[in-house]
Amino acid sequence: MTCPHSSRYSLVPDSDRKRVEYQRNFLINPLPPGDGICAVCRGPAGRGYELCYQCSEHRTAAEGMLADVVAPIAYAVDPTKAIKDHQHVGTLSHKSHKGRQHAHNLYNYKSRVITESTIRARVNLSSLVAVYLARHWDCFVKVTGGEFSHIVTVPSTKNRPGIHPLEQIVTNRIRLSVIRPAVNPDCTADPREFSRDRFRLPEGSVDGARILLIEDAWVSGSRAQSLAFTLKAAGAACRGDTSTGDNSRGVSREGKI
């Protein structure tokens, strides 16, 4: 459903809308926060808990210096990981045939060997980003207290050369100044865990900036939240984190792209 005050949606090309309409056949909307659903990542949480274990650990380690808003776009289900410990997530596991294609797109768009499948995945994700942000932009601005000034994508921690395809996709669709963080080579923390030292920023690049932070796949959320901490510690005024896919515990919350 389009947000009631979405002023940008009318500007989205029909070709993007048609691609996303087709993707509705296999996209799974994130569940709303509630009993058993994490208020941050929308993954499974224990009954009676606001946050899942990972997000609770992030909050403690960062002392609250995390993304102000996290907005998953869709679940990308990994059908090889059965989830049976929670009623809601168990329901999602029965829809693995739907989430599988989105997970396929999130995997293939990063391929360094450009094939027809790679191009198709990038086009689909590009349209999904454009439509999602156009529909919800005004809501993001309202919740975060003002317009975004800069866009940041979470860099690869695997020493991938060149500009990451995610950055290419989002910067082609969103006209904001780009800040390009780098992985700290001296960081020895487990990549699956939150670290205050995982990333570095260009000097003086974020002081007072209002950041739209985009991640492709949220597995544990450690990379996105580690970068959110770095941005806030460097003086960013706000960080809204959106993710194209979420893969944690068998459910990929690809809602941040």
Note the helical H segments in the chain: 14-23, 53-62, 87-93, 96-108, 116-144, 165-173, 222-233
Angle between helices 116-144 and 14-23 (to 10 degrees): 100
Provide the pairing of β-strand 199-200 with 182-183: antiparallel
Hey, where are the domains in the chain? 9-30+65-254
What are the beta bridge partners of residue 152?
A: 213
* pTM reported for the whole predicted model: 0.85
Q: What is the pLDDT of residues 26-78, one digit of tens each?
A: 899 999 999 999 999 999 999 999 999 999 999 999 998 999 999 999 988 76
User: Is-contact 196 229, C-beta < 8 A?
Assistant: yes
Alpha-carbon span 113 to 109, nearest angstrom: 10
Residue 80 pLDDT: 54
Please state, in angstroms and rounded to a whole number, the distance separating the CA atoms of residues 237 and 223. 19
State residue 92's pLDDT score.
Answer: 43
Task: Look up residue 95 and give its two tokens.
Answer: 């829809």
Q: Tell me, what's the pLDDT at 33?
A: 92
Angstrom distances, CA of residue 220 to CA of 58, 84, 107, 146, 223 = 10, 19, 17, 28, 8
pLDDT computed for residue 246 by the predictor: 61
**Position 217: which residue type?**
A
User: For the chain, which ranges sit under pLDDT 70?
Assistant: 1-5, 78-99, 245-257
CATH topology of domain 9-30+65-254: Rossmann fold (3.40.50)
Query: In the prediction, which pLDDT does 3 show?
Result: 64
In this structure, the dihedral spanned by the alpha carbons of residues 151, 155, 161 and 166, taken in order and rounded to 10 degrees, is -60
Q: One-letter amino acid identity for 154? A: V
CA gyration radius, the chain: 17
For 253, list phi and psi in degrees, rounded to 5: -85, 80
Cα–Cα distance measured from residue 64 to residue 1, given in angstroms and rounded to the nearest whole number: 31
Q: What is the pLDDT of residue 233?
A: 94
Q: Shortest CA distance to 168 belongs to which of 183, 153, 156?
A: 153
Query: In the predicted model, what is the mean pLDDT of the chain?
Result: 85
Tokens of residue 168, six digits: 């290419």
- Contact yes or no for 150/176 (Cβ under 8 A): yes
CB atoms inside a 10 Å sphere around CB 88:
15
Q: Of 172, 126, 140, nearest to 20 (Cα)?
A: 126
